[in-house]
Structure 1
């Protein structure tokens, strides 16, 4: 079960920005945030792809565009980053780190301090804990360059001076949420695992109002 956060409850931020809102996990984060009554803004590259994000204020622009970010962050209290990038076996990946560096700088300029950022199992010290298929086939053949950039992204967040939480989901699935997760930082006995996007969205949004995982990088799994 997720660690108790009842002693660290903070006021729920009423105004949040979501990056990566048109991705499979990002859409669930938007839907849950709207259902919770949050004032939700979403920075998206394509208004066409985001037409079904009901209840969110859409800002069209690239995640690396300072002008778009300034507009998106205006009046916001916190940011959720669910930005992802496709597998890239051969080409170097820089989107995640470049966009995160711009986000951190702009958050500081706009005095927005809370950042919850999704990376994934395989980032940082969670490398080698994804299970046999993930660690020996998927990661080295398809995701090595993506995760090199995720590591750069995590370093930028860690050194940002913001109130950050890095969330590392285990292998994602589209099953219904169970309503509870395990959040781990000691991975010595952990290998493999999966989790629904629905439960990831719930955990991520919970971190906007609680400090139990502040300045930490929990791996979350069933």
Structure 2
């Protein structure tokens, strides 16, 4: 499967497709991947969006378009999804689940098996562990629709049959990275937390070369 071993971990310096490459975390993933010597393809909505992704191969297309995804996936070893969506207190938000469903279908068609997908604290069984402000105010008032879609997105990934890892960052910030994070699946007693986008990018890229969190959903925090 495109230079991918049977257990799902690509060989050294894989070719990586980044979805959501123009977001705050996605740009850092692209930059760090290039620094590691990976071949990086970034799927962007318009040519102008990829101007500062120097060193990456830019493919223009909609992340919900299966044909565009298949074109971007050709020859890849792994996919990182860093898709995000703005707050939407009142309207349904289908972007994440729609794009992820299209991505899974395209990955199967192109025989690319490794997927690392960023969602967030508050998704799935991490709900209720974000601290008072996130759990009681921000999520119910501003992000309820977004997180309903994140939950749909996670379900699609879990049912995909791919070699997946779901990464749930704590509250994101733009501070310099610490170089390390705590990765948790037992959230008993955990409430709150934050982590830099730089450290999230580093953790996500690390997953491409390891099975440590294969088919698991770690919450990452400082």
TM-score under structure 1 normalisation?
0.95
Please list every run of 5 or more consecutive structure 2 residues that lacks an aligned counterpart in the other structure. Answer: 1-7
The one-character-per-residue Cα deviations of 1:115-173 (angstroms, maximum 9, x if unpaired) are 00000000000001000001111000100000000000000000000000000000000
Residue 116 of structure 1 corresponds to: 116
Residue 3 of structure 2 corresponds to: none
Residue 205 of structure 1 corresponds to: 205
Question: Kindly tell me: are residues 163 and 13 of structure 1, through their superposed partners in 2, closer, same or farther at Cα, counting changes over 3 Å?
Answer: farther
**Alignment partners' CA distance in 2, 1:104 and 1:18:** 14
Cα offset, 1:67, TM superposition: 1.4
Residue 4 of structure 2 corresponds to: none
Residue 182 of structure 2 corresponds to: 182
SS of 2:48 mapped into structure 1: coil
Stretch moving more, 211-220 or 40-49: 40-49
Residue 24 of structure 1 corresponds to: 24
Contact 2:116 2:166 in 1 (8 A): yes
Give the RMSD, CA atoms, in angstroms: 1.2
Residue 4 of structure 1 corresponds to: none
Q: How does 1:71-90 map to 2 (within 5 A)?
A: 71-90=71-90
Cα offset, 1:9, TM superposition: 7.9
Cα offset, 1:10, TM superposition: 6.0
SS of 1:48 mapped into structure 2: helix
Contact 2:13 2:37 in 1 (8 A): no
**Alignment partners' CA distance in 2, 1:125 and 1:13:** 33
**Alignment partners' CA distance in 2, 1:197 and 1:175:** 8
**Alignment partners' CA distance in 1, 2:55 and 2:14:** 14
- The ranges of structure 1 where at least 4 consecutive aligned residues each deviate by more than 3 angstroms after the TM superposition are none
The one-character-per-residue Cα deviations of 1:10-29 (angstroms, maximum 9, x if unpaired) are 63352110000000000000
**Alignment partners' CA distance in 2, 1:49 and 1:212:** 33
**Alignment partners' CA distance in 1, 2:84 and 2:39:** 23
